[in-house]
Structure 1
């Protein structure tokens, strides 16, 4: 588990194809690897990866075909900057929100506007994730815990303060940039709990958590 608070911006040193998947070698920048052991988890742009090799300046991790297909990692080039966070411990302040490092989909930046010293971003999420994105709810973008300011269908808006711009890769974003998205973990579990016994009969794609379903179970007034 992670918090979505980025601890360092690293750099991709090498991307090595290996029998259909790849091995990433990364320089971790200012991230301390003290206490990190082989097999430990580190989030790279919001993707939970396992350290299979450690060096003085970084680590290497294998990325499966599944992860390459569902995230932006396979499109990275040597020299690309990435957001890094070590797995949280029981003593870690939970300043962001609970993040699993399991990417739900890839979004696209539609628009970037200056707003005083901040930026406002509009991001298009995959349609199937729209039901999990709520006004003033949490979302993880490339591993960064952020608050949703506005939602219009599958498009949501974020306000990025100067500190976040300086300490993450968001300052590199331009319209068309593809980003890893992880929706609020609680929303996913809530959906399954509300479905109750119907969850076992649900299709593998889509959701039965509709407005009609919620109305039938007393979530809307008469």
Structure 2
């Protein structure tokens, strides 16, 4: 036992001597090792928390705790047209993480159709799941019209949701939908804007086209393909309709 203690003491003494008198041998290598470690840890943090790695986004909670709980609606006597953009031969904007635009907006429209029907509204869907319908063919008679889209830009940095209307009698409906979406969307609010999209300008009653996000943007694309987030958008649109009808 004494020999072990003596050997250990000699080892500690030798280590202490080396650290004290041989700094020129290890200071530079140690410095570069520490710098390399800092770079690796910083790169890992940025990749995980800033670049929105899909595996990390899966854990995101899309619900908005600041928004009041869902309420019961009564839309009896109201006819609402839902227009899922594109479809059939026209898939719309492509997706990197899931479904293309035509399927994303149809998924949201289908859930919205069920919610509206449960609330007593008569719902007209302008197309089926894989159906090709012309812009002229999307003109239907209703009390309210909502066209759903998730577009793309050449610049992948562009993100956010937008509501569009054409005529003055459509502006207020767009404002109510925009405000409701603003409470639940995780994306930048690009506002309620005038735009002459055919599905809206060919109507003589309140109609709005909603760009829910841009599939050319990595973050927008990912969340718009998540079922929970799609549900949040359905809830927001329901709230916007309720707000408009009860203004």
Q: What is the TM-score when the length of structure 2 is the normalising length?
A: 0.26
Indicate the structure with greater strand content.
1
Q: What is the TM-score when the length of structure 1 is the normalising length?
A: 0.28
Q: Higher Cα Rg: structure 1 or 2?
A: 2
Indicate the structure with greater helix content.
2
